[in-house]
Amino acid sequence: MDQIKTDICVIGAGSGGLSVAAGAVQMGASVVLIEGGKMGGDCLNYGCVPSKALLAAGKAAAAHRAGASKGVAPDEPVTDYAAAMEHVARVIAAIEPHDSQERFEGLGVQVIRDYARFVSPTEVEAGGKRITARRFVIATGSSPLVPPIPGLDSVPYLTNETIFDLRAAPAHLLIIGGGPIGLEMAQAHRRLGCKVTVLEGAKALGNDDPEATALIVAALRDEGVEIIEGAKVEQVRGHQGAIAVQVEGGAVYNGSDLLVAVGRKPNTDRLELDLAGVKHGRGGVEVDDSLRSTNRWVYAIGDVAGRGQFTHVAGYQAGVIIRSMLFGLPSKVRADHIPHVTYTDPELAHVGLGEAAARQKFGAGLQVITLGFDAADRAQADGKTTGLIKVMVNKGRPVGATIAGPNAGEMIGVWALVLANRLKMGAIAGTVLPYPTMGELSKRVAGAYFSPKLFENPWVKRVVGLVQKLVP
C-alpha cells in the first residue's frame, strides 16, 4: 500500500472541506483531499444550488400569475417541468468547475476519489493509500434522514438527493416534513403546476419565530400548497403513481410521488472513528469551541460537527480551524452572528436570538421593535407590503433579528454585520441608505427604537427650549 505523508488531510469535498483545502495549500501547507462522492458535496449537487435554481424557475412561473394590481393582465403559464430541471442541471454545471478535482489539483492539492476510514489516531486509508497527517479535518457533511416509518421501505420515495433527477412532473407530490427543505420544494413544485400536500408532525417551520412563520405558511397556502400540521405519519403504502400516507388519527393522504424531508443525519458511518479515538454520536462528531475532537489531531467542521447545517457555517468554521492549524493561534467559533434563511417566497431570515430566547435571557430589559413591510415606501411601490422585521435589543445593542418578506435573505445581511461586530443601534441610525430601498426598513427600526427616547423625554424638550432661549 502506498504511503503518503502530508500536513493536512481533509476528508470530504463539500463547501467546508474545499475551503480548508484551498486556503491551506495556498498558504504553503501540503494537503490531501479525500472525497468518495461528488466534488462540491451536498450544497452543489443536491442542496443549496439546485433548490434555489428550481425555486427561480417556480418564481418565473408565478410572475405570470401576478400583476393585475399593477395593470398587467395575469395568465396561467405553460410550464415545462423537464426544462425547469434542465435549468437546474445547467446551473450545477456552471458552478462545478470551481469545485472540481482539476481546479484543486491545479492549486497543488492531492485529490483521492474514494471513501476514507481511520486505521489509527494519525492515519487514514483511501484509494489504496495510507495517509499520515499532522492534522485531519472531517468535513463529510450530512445525508437525508429517513425515519423508520412502517411501509416506507417498500414504497418508492424521493429525498433531496434524488428529486432533482426527475424529468416528469409529479401529478401530486406528498411531502413528509414541513421544514425549510419541505416547504421550499413544496412551493417550487406548486408553482410549476404540481398539486402538493405537506404533512408536518408538529408546526411548519417550528424552529422559527411563530409570527414570522405564520406569514410564510399563509402565503404558501394562498398559492394552493396544502399544509397539514400536527400530522404524525403512521404508515406508508402503495406504489409509484399511487402512494398513500396515513397519519395519526386515521386520515389518509393520497398522491403520485413522495418526498421525505424530515431532517439530516451526519455522515460518520464509513469513517471508523472509534479507531481514531474520536468521540461521536447521533449529532455527529463531538467537538469543542475550537472544533477539535477528542483526538487532538482531528478537527470536524460543517454538518458533521453538529453546530449548524448551513453552507456558510461550514465556510466560517473552515476559517476558524485554518487560523489554528496553520498559524497556531487560539481560535474559537461563535454562533450568535450566524444567519439562516428559508428561501420560500416570501423568504424567512434570522440571525442571533429569537424573541422567545431573548426574552428568557434578558427579561424585562429586552426591547422588541417590530415593523411591517408597509412601513417601507419601496414595498408600497412594488406592491409587496406583506412582511415584517423584528429586532431584539438589549441595552442599545441588537441581539437578534427576524425578517419575513420578499428578499429577506438579502435584508438580513446588515443585521448579521451588526451582530458579528457587536455594534449598537446607533450604527444603524447613523447610516445613510438610498431611497427608496427595502434596506431603509432597517433604519426605520433604529428610528423606532430612538424615537421614544428623543420625542417623549421631557428633559430633551427642556434642553431644546433652553438652547432656543440662550443661544443667539
Residue 86 CA to residue 84 CA, distance in Å, equals: 5
| Percent of all residues in the chain with a pLDDT value above 90, rounded to a whole number | 93
Q: pLDDT tens digits, residue range 328-358?
A: 999 999 999 999 999 999 999 999 999 999 9
Contacts of 457 by beta carbon, 8 Å cutoff, 6+ apart? none
Mean pLDDT, rounded, of the chain: 95
Question: What's the DSSP call for residue 364?
Answer: G
Phi then psi dihedrals of residue 367, to 5 deg: -115, 135
Tens of pLDDT, residue by residue over 40-95, are: 999 999 999 999 999 999 999 999 999 888 899 999 999 999 999 999 999 999 99
Q: What is the pLDDT of residues 219-243, one digit of tens each?
A: 999 999 999 999 999 999 999 999 9
Residue 156: is its pLDDT beyond 70? yes
pLDDT reading at 202 higher than 90: yes
Residue located via cell numbers 417551520: 205
- Per-residue confidence at 456, pLDDT binned at 50, 70, 90? low
Q: Collect all residues with Cβ–Cβ distance below 8 Å to 441 and sequence separation of at least 6.
A: 371, 373, 375, 376, 379, 389, 411
Which three cell numbers mark 406? 420578499
**What is the per-residue pLDDT for 402?**
98
Q: What is the pLDDT of residue 132?
A: 98
Q: 403 or 465, which is more confident? A: 403
Domains of the chain, CATH where assigned: 2-39+100-144+265-327 (3.50.50.60), 152-263 (3.50.50.60), 339-455 (3.30.390.30)
The pLDDT, as a whole number, for residue 324 is 94
Identify whether the C-beta of residue 284 lies closer than 8 Å to the C-beta of residue 141.
no
Question: Is residue 334 within 8 Å of residue 422, measured between CB atoms?
Answer: no
Summarize pLDDT for 157-196 with one digit per residue, the tens.
Answer: 999 999 999 999 999 999 999 999 999 999 999 999 999 9
Categorize the per-residue pLDDT at 455 as very low, low, confident or very high, splitting at 50, 70 and 90. low
Give the Cα separation of 61 and 49 in Å (integer).
19
CB proximity list for 59: less than 8 A, separation 6 or greater: 191, 345
Measure Cα distances from 30 to 107, 110, 429 in Å. Answer: 11, 8, 47
Task: Express each pLDDT in 307-319 by its tens digit.
Answer: 999 999 999 999 9
Cell of 34: 479525500
Nine-digit cell string for 425: 443601534
